[in-house]
Chains A and B, each alone.
Chain A
């Protein structure tokens, strides 16, 4: 049986993975958002309010929270279509702050006093299932026609437009999906901590998924997963360093950036691993299952 402490760490890891993946979606179309903390807050407060004040069962509340956050993401995403790069970063950053200040002053959910009364819903199996589901969604998106369209939009928006990809729709869609996923992470967090206050969803929450992806790798959704794992577990492993652990943690991050600026996981690593797995598999079954081979093609061209 897992030790309860490790179980807690795993639950927090799962929520962080979902949060990391929430940023993968907009990034897949080249949109960097620093407002994921804001979306997480909306999801957390919506789900909590629905379970506490309205007495909804949690699946309905979680679902509604995710959908509502996704819709909000769509609305925020609209102006985001007109701005790019650093301006988009600023816009999403400002959005995150607006959300934080809103909940800071919104009396029905306790304002600065925070909100409580949620039941304990977020268990490890639930988090594991929802993390797997989110990863599956990311994987399906990346490997589908949509994924290739997103690749095109990210690498060259104009060219993508010329070959007939609906750039606007693509960008808006992934931005909304990302927001919804962040909202789900918020709902899970609220029903784990059982107490939320606006300060928890400040800028550091928005930067968290960003560091996950920067360290893990921007190219594939595995980057978000590996980054979240590493950055959640590393501070725990470094606990023996006591007061110095955060300094050491920062140093480790700088080292990663110097040695692997593209992040720990890129397509080459993923394919290398996949090939390895296949070789081991084919050793047992002697050739077969080449169905996923053509899928690599759109990616391999970016390996220089």
Chain B
């Protein structure tokens, strides 16, 4: 059969046009031997679990990216340092990464106290830092270079409050919170009361404890006397688990609501049957059944000795990928002479980030540089988390 010449030409031209306009083919390749990123995680100290999860997740992302050809054809290297959850070390390590090791961007720090000390320095360092867990409201606005791919606790809690109120018909509540932990105290004293007011839940009483407490019977007995419809916690998972278990022992049957710091799979593990039906506002769902999540979970559990990641780990993984995409999209060259330009491009990329579909859900940056969207409402069910519709 003869194919008319005209048709052959048309087909060839069309093919050329398609190839030329295809994304990726016109992108400039990066230069250099490696693309260097930095990370500061609290691998020891009180934040050890968060840091460890972030570290494992980062390494998984780096291995995957390098296996698939690196960033713009250049392998990526992430220099990970341990802050020991100490502010002083976070400061000196951030400067070490930025000024000595010349990294293009820094992932971390995890804790709000570290982030709050670093953020004012960034205008001088002129380099992006992206926290993967910090949840204290109002910190990213401290610098245009400060980003948090996490949800501040008000964003994590709002959908959870709605679900909790509707599901359990909660009209009155008490709030029990850790007055010694910055994020928990903010949740207990400010975020939750404001949300309860907005959604018509009457706060009967605010009660407090301190991080190291192990016995909560005094507060729980008081709650029993007040007989509210629900109990809201501003607590980290270790204490929250203790509170829930002790409450059940005292015969309290109210449903619990908790926020950012309980979003660890360990919480569901620790509370067991006592925690059934508790509602958690979180920034990531470790058991998400989407294929890429399953793939990640499998790799993570292989490296962590069977532990499931908290949202810090999930978002650290996303952070590496987002940085990769930004570098390719905004034309980072990775030339030593372009370091300042490249850093500015990465800043622009983070500031304009919209709708990245990562393992923690859809992520966008709001106007101050905080993550928005993808707040997850989780329910504790048979030792794990189940995601609820909002």
Contacts and interface: CB of A to CB of B under 8 A. Distances in A.
Interface stretch (B27-35, B114-122, B382-390): B114-122
B179 A8 contact: no
Interface string A162-195: 0000000000000000000000000000001111
**Chain A interface size, under 10 / 10 to 19 / 20 to 34 / 35 or more:** 20 to 34
A155 interface: no
A195 B117 CA distance: 5
B54 to A, nearest CB: 14
A194 B117 contact: yes
Contacts of B324: none
B186 interface: yes
A9 B92 CA distance: 7
A109 B170 CA distance: 35
A200 B88 CA distance: 10
Contact of A246 (B44, B87, B100): B44
B66 interface: no
Interface in B42-79: 43-44
Contact of A4 (B96, B117, B180, B185): B96
Given A112-B180, A116-B120, A200-B87, A4 B95 contact: yes
B44 A112 contact: no
B92 A12 contact: yes
Contacts of B99: 3-5
A243 B88 contact: no
A243 B82 contact: yes
A114 interface: yes
A104 B180 contact: yes
B113 interface: yes
B87 A193 contact: yes
Interface in A86-118: 104-105, 111-114, 116
B91 interface: yes
B181 interface: yes
B180 A8 contact: no
A9 B86 CA distance: 13
B100 A3 contact: yes
A286 interface: no
**Chain B interface size, under 10 / 10 to 19 / 20 to 34 / 35 or more:** 20 to 34
Contacts, number: 70
B129 to A, nearest CB: 14
A289 B99 CA distance: 47
Contact of B92 (A5, A199, A200): A5
A292 interface: no
B88 A12 contact: yes
B91 A8 contact: yes
A8 B93 CA distance: 9
Contacts of B116: 114, 116, 195
Contacts of A246: 44, 84
Contacts of A239: 81-82
B182 interface: yes
A193 B186 CA distance: 21
Interface of A: 3-5, 8-9, 12, 104-105, 111-114, 116, 192-195, 197-200, 239, 242-243, 246
Interface of B: 43-44, 81-82, 84, 87-88, 91-93, 95-96, 99-100, 113, 116-117, 120-121, 136, 179-182, 185-186
15 contacts: A4-B95, A8-B95, A8-B96, A104-B179, A105-B179, A112-B185, A112-B186, A114-B113, A114-B116, A193-B88, A194-B120, A197-B182, A198-B180, A199-B180, A200-B87
Given A5-B95, A199-B113, A243-B82, 4 more contacts: A104-B179, A114-B113, A193-B87, A199-B180
